Structure 1
Amino acid sequence: MSQSILAPGAVLVLWTLIMLFWVAATRFPAMAKAGINLKAAPPGGRGADLENVLPSSVNWKSHNYTHLLEQPTLFYAVIVFLHLSGGDVSYTRWIAWAYVVLRILHSLWQVTVNRVPVRFTLFSLSTLCLLALAVLAVIATLG
């Protein structure tokens, strides 16, 4: 395991980019199959416009990519606070890694099976990790 709390953040950034490529790899073929011509599309189109056009299993990848750009932004800030304030210690690194593992499991579940009770459990557990990190960051920054 890395000796820096920043390592889990770097892994989550990489995972987010992997999800972006997974979105593209599934969405563009699905759009072609649905007869959508991007060159003929009117200006201003959004991914949300495809919700009722593409299969749900294709849209799940896009939904997850969006989720990875929401709550994890707080995670990135918190690990920087911990790193800069001396709160980068073994137990905060373990919690940060737990957060990342749970978010990756959440992604894999959402883009494949997407049953809400399990997805919600994974999300809730990761949120508890983030809450713990945030409290520890407040303690570390207040000295």
Structure 2
Amino acid sequence: MSSPILAPAAVLIAWSMVMWGWLLVTRIGSFKAAGVDLKTAKKGARGVDLEAVLPPEVMWKSHNYNHLMEQPTLFYAVVMILALAGFGDGLNAQLAWAYTVLRIAHSLWQATINTVPVRFLLFLLSSLCLIALSLHAVMATV
């Protein structure tokens, strides 16, 4: 099965892996400077409380990666519903691309500058795309 709406979902998945790599490289580089030794780090569910140890600029990447594991999971489900229902082209594909581009812009903003008003606007706009896609998925399946 091939549907145009699958491409933006695949791109957002790939972007999530880019963010994972970025947070990994940034964190590992910051561990030494913060005096975190992974060999002797406290055992437990959370291990070292990195929020208290690493600079905020380092943690922003981790926060964003976590965000990419939250709302976008709904996006992937909606994309699959629309693709399977045969409504993965036209406006729905455009909305999916808009969602993906806005989420990537949100990631870049949060990982580098991280001012809340712009972050919120990017989140709001992407959420509106997801709401529209969700409504279209309902209409396509009822």
Q: Specify the TM-score bucket, using the shorter chain as the normaliser.
A: over 0.9
CA distance change for structure 1 residues 72 and 121 in 2, over 3 Å: closer, same or farther? same
Separation in structure 2 between the aligned mates of residue 128 and residue 49 of structure 1, nearest angstrom: 34
Rounded to whole Å, the distance in 1 between the matches of 2:61 and 2:105 is 13
SS of the counterpart of 2:44?
Answer: coil
Partner of 1:90: 90
Using the alignment, how far apart are the partners of 2:49 and 2:119 within structure 1?
A: 24
Q: Give the drift of 1:46.
A: 2.8
Q: Return the offset for 1:49.
A: 1.3
**Aligned amino acid, residue 107 of structure 1:** S
TM-score w.r.t. structure 1 length?
Answer: 0.94
Q: What TM-score do you get using the length of structure 2 for normalisation? A: 0.95
2:125 aligned with 1:125:
yes
Q: How far has the Cα of 1:3 moved from its partner?
A: 5.5
Distance 1:86 1:141 in 2: 10
Task: Give the superposition deviation at 1:43.
Answer: 1.7
Moved over 4 A (4+): none
| Aligned pairs (5 A) from 1:1-143 | 4-46=4-46, 49-142=49-142
* CA offset digits 1:53-104 (Å, max 9, x no partner): 1000000000000000000000000000000011112110000000000000
* Percent identity of paired positions between Structure 1 and Structure 2: 57
Q: Which runs of 5+ in 1 are unaligned?
A: none
Separation in structure 2 between the aligned mates of residue 63 and residue 128 of structure 1, nearest angstrom? 22
Q: Which moved more, 1:12-21 or 1:86-95?
A: 86-95
Stretches of structure 2 that go unaligned for 5 or more consecutive residues are: none
